[in-house]
């Protein structure tokens, strides 16, 4: 039996690797994508370009604006001289926000009236708008306590002491990069498996395979193993990049993580092979792969939280293996989670894997076309 | 270009589409399904965040702060007796944050020694943590104002921040995510529709049969583009209608601008699919390339969720290779801000340039094959 499986596996590897283009597709994009996405996929704001419309000649506004110039998040400042310049700057995305200080700013503050800082934000990306507004508020709060301390004002009676666990500086790369491991592992396994049976169906060689002494189980294993091996290699590569290149802290154990990878690959391969054995043509296989991949990624919690989804959509995500694996990979990286906190995330993936693999095996013989 | 021949080819292609309903499904059914699923599913606005509240000693001030959290739409506060219990709940992901008022909180408030309000957030999802921090600050600030007001003094902040958020005053992330989704879905549809069509002819040997007829490569290419373009535009129209009428994304720009840019983008997406098909020459390879180079770049590098303006400069250049980027920009602006022509024209020019470039490579690659 092992010999037969090994022979089929060898043949599968040859189909995947013999063509130069397929080889390239398996090797180049994951490397390029972890690099590009690792740097680009982030919710943090850097180099926010802003404009200043300062009508106040006084010292207070200059001190406040100096804080913006010194802030790491804010960068490249445009000076505005009259009202009409504001709209085009924001409309054409030259700047993300405009700070407007009225003519009485310093006078108000020194007389004990609050000085108004008006902030106009581009809400087209409302997330960026909210986050940059928070940065503005933080700068103003710092300015306020400094001003109160140096100008004999009344103390603010309470202060917020904010601590964030697992990610002290709230660097969202630490959240996204472990997610990319899941993303690329899913894409690669689907790529290897989703067209593999459909291709043979279309060429007619699958019939030949069925009349050999191999049982459907052996065919199934032979077709799955290349996906496993390639998936493991690529996942390992991306994990190495995440730790050594992007310096995402790894606080858990590799055993916990790799058990997660194993169950995740099992479910992904099962789904890929099931899609492939339902499809009669490769075009249908491709369509099936996209039909699974796109919702699986968008509704996984990779970029937008599952808790924000309506209840019905949340129920649907229980069928999505990536949902479970994302939590495992992020917890092992950042929280250092152990098996006992994660065990209830493993078995749904095993279940999905077994169910889809069984379906694929049954469809091998019984699919009419 | 001979139009009789072209018409014949287009007819053949259309029949092929009609007889394999999967293409029609891709064009019409898929965008509706995906947009329904994602339009409701994708949101970045944290609402009803479970929050553990630990008040070690009751006092009117502490109660007032807690009730501020209870009234807020953003939080679902749960009272807990000790900080240990709260930390336990956070480890088990039952709560996303902790508010901790120590036993001497009221006392410190009175003596004016800047009483600390402890806030602990789970930083694994950094973006959410930052949003929670912002909401907590809002509740805290309201409480401060009210408390000092009750004591007969006005809270004197030297500087107050007044903000106006243009284009999306209620800060609803769905308003910018849904237009972005249309761009992503259409990228996929374009690639799915056409990435196989040329490769299929090569693989089945019908390409050679076509070669011996008098049709030119340009006619073959056009006959592949026209029917799929019409099909894709149908799906596009459905998606736009859904965005406007189902998800109530305000459409401030003109319908004509929307139609023009949609056609331009659909054309670019389809030529991209065709290019994959021509370059791969086998369906297997074409399918693999399509999976790898269409979805993920459109998802991550288009500005759909991750703001391009905050990426490193080198990556910002790279995003210019992603067609979806221009369409996301056009759609977000047309929907939320209106007709902002400089932005519209620049993005459209880029799209047109990309389509031309794809067509040129298709032509070059196809010519070689004829020899």
The DSSP-derived string for A228-297 is: HHHHHHHHHHHHHIIIIIS-----S-HHHHHHHHHHHHHHHHHHHHHHHHH-SSHHHHHHHHHHHHHHHH
Most confident listed range (A12-26, A178-192, B8-22): A178-192
Span A293-345, pLDDT tens digits: 989 999 999 988 898 888 999 999 999 999 999 999 999 999 888 888 888 99
Question: Which residue did the predictor score with more confidence, A247 or A209?
Answer: A247
Q: Please count the other Cβ atoms lying within 10 Å of the Cβ belonging to residue B115.
A: 21
The total domain count for chain A is 2
Determine the pLDDT at residue B346: 95
Q: Within 13 Å of residue B129, how many CA atoms lie on the same side as its CB?
A: 24
Q: Using only C-alpha atoms, what is the Rg of chain B?
A: 28
Closest alpha carbon to B28 in B184, B193, B258:
B193
In a domain, A156, yes or no: no
Distance CA A348, CA B321 (A): 39
Position B371 scores a pLDDT of: 43
CATH number at residue A120: 3.40.1710.10
According to DSSP, residue A194 is labeled: T
Shortest Cα distance, chain A CAs vs residue B299, angstroms = 9
Rounded Cα gap, residues B271 and B356, in angstroms: 9
Pair (A196, A72) in one structural domain: no
Rounded Cα gap, residues A74 and A117, in angstroms? 16
A252 and A358 both lie in a single domain: yes
Whether residue A203 is predicted with pLDDT greater than 90 in this model: the reply is no
* A262 Cα to chain B: minimum distance (Å): 22
Q: Cβ separation of A297 and B119 shorter than 8 Å?
A: no
Residues A187, A321: one domain? yes
Q: Please give the structure tokens belonging to residue B316.
A: 């910002």
**A160 in a domain, yes or no?**
no
Give the residues across from A122 on adjacent strands: B166
From residue A183, alpha-carbon distances to A176, A268, B95, B234, B296 in Å are 10, 11, 26, 30, 9
- pLDDT tens per residue, chain B (371 residues)? 788 888 988 898 888 888 877 778 778 888 898 898 888 888 888 788 999 999 998 888 889 999 999 998 889 999 998 999 999 998 888 899 999 998 888 888 887 777 889 999 998 888 889 889 989 988 988 888 888 777 766 666 788 888 888 988 888 888 889 999 999 988 888 888 888 888 888 888 888 888 888 888 888 889 989 999 998 899 999 999 999 999 999 999 999 999 999 999 999 999 999 999 988 878 888 887 888 788 889 999 998 989 998 888 899 999 999 999 999 999 999 999 989 999 999 999 999 999 999 999 988 887 655 54
One domain for residues A318 and A177: yes
B32/A contact by beta carbon, under 8 A: no
SS3 label, residue B166:
strand
Confidence class for position A360, pLDDT limits 50, 70, 90: very high
Cα distance between residue A141 and residue B161, in whole Å:
10
Residue A352 lies in a domain: yes
Query: Position of tokens 């703001």?
Result: B307
Per-residue pLDDT at B368: 52
In terms of domains, do A248 and A277 share one? yes
Verify that A250 and A347 share a domain, yes or no.
yes
> Which of B126, B136, B332 is opposite residue A43, by nearest beta carbon?
B126
Q: Which of A102, A117, A150 is the last residue of a domain?
A: A150
A162 belongs to a structural domain: no
Size of chain A, expressed as the number of residues it contains: 369
Question: Shortest Cα distance from A144 to chain B (angstroms)?
Answer: 6
Nearest Cα to A317, choosing from A285, A343, A352, A287?
A352
Asked if residue A340 and residue A211 are part of one domain, the reply reads yes
Report the residue of chain A nearest B333, measured CA to CA: A124
B175 interaction partners in chain A (CB closer than 8 Å): 126
What's the rounded mean pLDDT across residues A68-93? 89
Would an 8 Å CB–CB cutoff place B289 in contact with chain A? Answer: yes
* Domain range for A85: 48-150
CB contact under 8 A, B296 and A123: no
Take residue A107 and report the two structure tokens written for it: 């006078």
> How close, in Å, is residue A9 to chain B by CA atoms?
18
Residue A161 belongs to some domain of the structure: no
In a domain, A157, yes or no: no
Which residue in chain B has the smallest CA separation from A285?
A: B287
Q: Which residues of B touch A118 (CB under 8 A)?
A: 162-164
Q: What is Dmax (Cα atoms) for chain A?
A: 94
Q: Do residues A62 and A87 share a domain?
A: yes
- Looking at the structure, do residues A128 and A63 belong to the same domain, yes or no? yes
Of A91, A126, A287, nearest to B172 by CB-CB distance is A126
CATH of domain B49-150: 3.40.1710.10
Of chain A, the percentage scoring pLDDT greater than 90 comes to 44
CA distance B216 to chain A (A): 26
Q: Does A148 touch chain B (CB under 8 A)?
A: yes
A with B: how many residue pairs have Cβ under 8 Å apart?
365
Q: What is the ipTM of this complex?
A: 0.85
Q: Which of A92, A158, A316 sits opposite B340 (nearest CB)?
A: A92
- If asked whether residues A353 and A266 sit together in one domain, one would say yes
Please tell me whether residues A215 and A330 are part of one structural domain. yes
What part of B 129-158 touches A (C-beta under 8 Å)?
Answer: 129-131, 133-134, 136-137, 140, 144, 147-148, 153, 155-158
Rounded CA-CA distance B369/B283 in Å is: 17
Structural domain includes residue A166: no
Residues A180 and A92 in one domain: no
Q: Report which DSSP code applies to B320.
A: G
Please judge whether A128 and B303 are an interchain contact, meaning their C-beta atoms are less than 8 angstroms apart: no
Domain chopping of chain B, boundaries: 3-43+172-370, 49-150
* Arithmetic mean of pLDDT over chain A: 89
Contact A337, A252 (CB under 8 A): yes
CB-nearest to A310 from B20, B40, B309 is: B40
Cβ of residue A96 closer than 8 Å to a chain B Cβ: yes
Residue B320 CA to residue A17 CA, distance in Å, equals 31
Residues A194-212, mean pLDDT to the nearest whole number: 85
In a domain, A214, yes or no: yes
Residue A107 has pLDDT above 70, yes or no: yes
Structure tokens given for A165: 């666990």
pLDDT of residue A154: 62
């Amino acid at each position: 039996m092992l010999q037969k499986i090994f022979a089929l596996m060898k043949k599968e590897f040859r189909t995947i690797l013999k063509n130069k283009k397929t080889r390239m597709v398996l090797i180049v994009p994951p490397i390029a994508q972890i690099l590009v996405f690792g740097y680009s996929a982030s919710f943090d704001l850097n180099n926010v370009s802003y404009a200043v419309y300062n009508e106040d000649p006084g010292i207070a506004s200059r001190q406040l604006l100096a804080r913006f110039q010194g802030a790491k998040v804010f960068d490249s400042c445009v000076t505005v001289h009259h009202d009409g310049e504001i709209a085009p700057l924001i409309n054409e995305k030259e700047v993300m926000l405009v700070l407007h200080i009225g003519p009485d700013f310093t006078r108000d503050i020194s007389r004990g009236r609050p000085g108004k800082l008006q902030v106009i934000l581009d809400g087209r990306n409302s997330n960026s708008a909210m986050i940059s507004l928070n940065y503005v508020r933080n700068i103003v709060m710092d300015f306020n306590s400094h001003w109160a301390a140096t100008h004999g004002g009344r103390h603010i009676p309470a202060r917020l002491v904010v601590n964030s666990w697992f990610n002290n500086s709230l660097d969202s790369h630490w959240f996204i990069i472990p997610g990319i491991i899941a993303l690329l592992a899913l894409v690669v396994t689907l790529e290897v498996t989703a067209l593999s049976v459909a291709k043979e169906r279309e060429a007619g060689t699958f019939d030949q395979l069925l009349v050999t002494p191999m049982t459907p189980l052996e065919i199934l294993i032979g077709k799955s193993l290349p996906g496993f091996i390639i998936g493991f290699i690529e996942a390992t590569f991306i994990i190495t990049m995440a730790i050594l290149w992007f310096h995402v802290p790894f606080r858990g154990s590799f055993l916990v993580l790799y058990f997660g990878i194993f169950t995740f690959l099992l479910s992904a391969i099962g789904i890929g092979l099931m899609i492939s054995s339902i499809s009669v043509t490769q075009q249908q296989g491709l369509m099936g792969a996209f039909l699974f991949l796109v919702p699986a990624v968008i509704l996984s919690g990779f970029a937008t939280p599952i808790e924000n989804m309506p209840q019905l959509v949340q129920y649907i995500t229980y069928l999505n293996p990536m949902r479970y694996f994302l939590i495992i990979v992020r917890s092992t990286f950042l929280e250092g989670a152990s098996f006992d906190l994660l065990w209830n995330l493993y078995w749904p993936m095993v279940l999905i894997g077994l169910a889809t693999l069984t379906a694929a095996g049954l469809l091998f013989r019984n699919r009419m076309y | 270009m001979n139009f009789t021949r072209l018409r014949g080819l287009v007819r053949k292609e259309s029949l092929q589409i009609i007889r394999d309903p999967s293409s029609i499904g891709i064009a019409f059914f898929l965008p509706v399904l995906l947009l329904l699923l994602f339009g409701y599913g994708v949101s970045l606005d944290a609402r009803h965040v479970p929050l553990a509240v630990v008040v070690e000693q009751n006092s009117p001030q502490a109660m007032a702060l807690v009730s501020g959290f209870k009234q807020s739409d953003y939080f679902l506060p749960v009272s807990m007796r000790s900080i240990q219990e709260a930390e336990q709940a956070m480890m088990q992901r039952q709560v996303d944050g902790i508010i901790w008022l120590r036993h001497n909180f009221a006392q410190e408030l009175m003596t004016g020694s800047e009483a600390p309000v402890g806030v602990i957030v789970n930083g694994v999802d950094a973006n959410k943590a930052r949003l929670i921090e912002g909401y907590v600050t809002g509740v805290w600030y309201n409480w401060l104002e009210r408390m000092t007001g009750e004591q007969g003094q006005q809270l004197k902040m030297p500087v107050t921040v007044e903000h106006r958020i243009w284009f999306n005053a209620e800060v609803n992330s769905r308003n910018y995510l849904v237009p972005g989704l249309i761009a992503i879905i259409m990228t996929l549809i374009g690639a799915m529709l056409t990435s196989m069509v040329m490769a299929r002819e090569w693989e089945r040997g019908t390409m050679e049969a076509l070669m011996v007829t008098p049709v030119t490569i340009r006619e073959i290419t056009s006959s592949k583009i026209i029917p799929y373009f019409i099909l894709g535009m149908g799906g596009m129209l459905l998606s736009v209608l859904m965005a406007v009428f189902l998800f109530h994304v305000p459409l401030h720009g003109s319908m004509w601008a929307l139609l023009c840019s949609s056609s331009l983008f659909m054309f670019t997406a389809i030529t991209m699919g065709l290019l994959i098909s021509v370059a791969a020459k086998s369906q297997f390879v074409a399918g693999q390339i399509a999976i790898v180079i269409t979805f993920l770049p459109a998802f991550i590098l288009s500005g759909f969720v991750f703001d391009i303006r905050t990426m490193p400069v080198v990556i910002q250049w790279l995003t210019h290779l992603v067609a979806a980027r221009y369409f996301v920009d056009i759609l977000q602006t047309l929907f939320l801000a209106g007709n902002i022509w400089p932005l519209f024209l620049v993005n459209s020019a880029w799209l047109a340039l990309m389509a031309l470039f794809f067509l040129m490579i298709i032509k070059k690659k196809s010519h070689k094959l004829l020899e």
